[in-house]
Structure 1
Amino acid sequence: MKILRFLTIMLTALSLSAAFAHLLEMPAKLQYDDALWLHLLQTLYPTFGKVSGVCEIGAVIASALLVVAIRKRPKALPWTLLAALCLAVTHAIFWIWVAPVNAALLPLSPDTLPPDWTRLRDQWEFAHASRAILQIIALAACRTLSGIGDNHSQAN
């Protein structure tokens, strides 16, 4: 149980690192022109997905396994469910709002951006911001869970 909880916390923290970076960058990036914003999308962020994306999938799986493992512990279950749900919603947000923008804009150049590129940019930026907030909540829930302990007498 301790190893699974540790793994969930670490994977959540690692996936949060990229989401939090997006959140911190957002105010400046909303001021960038189309060429600079697109350049960042095409050159800076591919590594984020390759590393953080794997951690995010791992966090979703680990938190789901933790829900199953801790299901009979009434004090720990709500925190575990909260973390797992936040992580699952975070992942869904990526596929619903971020991935379509990536697919639409990554192959383009500044000259071929659609006239409504700022709508797509805002969708991408605010989706990442919401993901960061959900991952912060998930990490806090995981951390709270770790304070509950593995001893059944403490968890009941």
Structure 2
Amino acid sequence: MSAAVAHLLEMPAKLNYDGALWLKLLQTLYPTFGKVSGVCEIGAVIACLALVAVVRKRRRAFRWTLLAASCLAATHAIFWIWVAPVNTALVPLSPETLPANWERWRDQWEFAHAARAILQIVALAALVVSVLTELPTTARDSEERPGLNEPGA
């Protein structure tokens, strides 16, 4: 989630950069983001889908966990539909070969990353809620749920 949130926090400043500077960032700063966070984001989707399977019989937790998994999967769709084409089109260019409509490409890239960050924040919140829905609210609730008071449960 950190890379997507970093993009979101950087966005206001980057929308004011000229084409040459924005392209330079795209070419030099962000390749590492993909190599590290890309792997982590795939792992997050897999882990979340596994969790969906584990909690499938716990109705309240299942819904929130499924929402989280859906948000994480949507972030990948956004990347491949809107971000990757910009990377493919612009990363090989130089400031001199940047197209006249480069701002349209920039906006597509920046706002797609912003949407990804928001979806990842929603996913994290949904996972937290899925855990909270499983917590007993009273001592009586914990007595009615066998295993919750036992070590390792």
Aligned to 2:106: 121
Q: Determine helix, strand or coil for the equivalent of 2:145.
A: helix
1:54 is aligned to 39
Structure with the largest fraction of helix: 1
User: 2:18 corresponds to which residue?
Assistant: 33
After TM superposition, the structure 1 = structure 2 runs for residues 2-151 of structure 1, keeping only pairs within 5 Å, are 16-149=1-134
Note the aligned Cα RMSD (angstroms): 1.7
Q: For 1:96-130, what per-residue CA distance to the aligned partner results, in whole angstroms no more than 9, with x for missing partners? A: 00000000000000000111110000000000000
Unpaired runs of 5+ in structure 1?
1-15
CA distance in 2, matches of 1:139, 1:21: 16
- Residue identity (%): 72
The alignment of Structure 1 onto Structure 2 pairs a total of residues equal to 139
Residues 2-46 of structure 1 show CA distances to partners (whole Å, capped at 9, x for unaligned) of xxxxxxxxxxxxxx1000000000010000000000000001101
Question: Which of 1 and 2 has greater Rg?
Answer: 2
SS in 1 for 2:51: helix
* TM-score of the superposed pair, with normalisation by structure 1: 0.85
How many Å separate the matches in 1 of 2:145 and 2:31? 46
**Please, which runs of 5 or more residues in structure 2 have no aligned partner?**
136-141, 147-153
What TM-score do the two structures reach when normalised by structure 2?
0.86
Cα offset, 1:147, TM superposition: 2.3
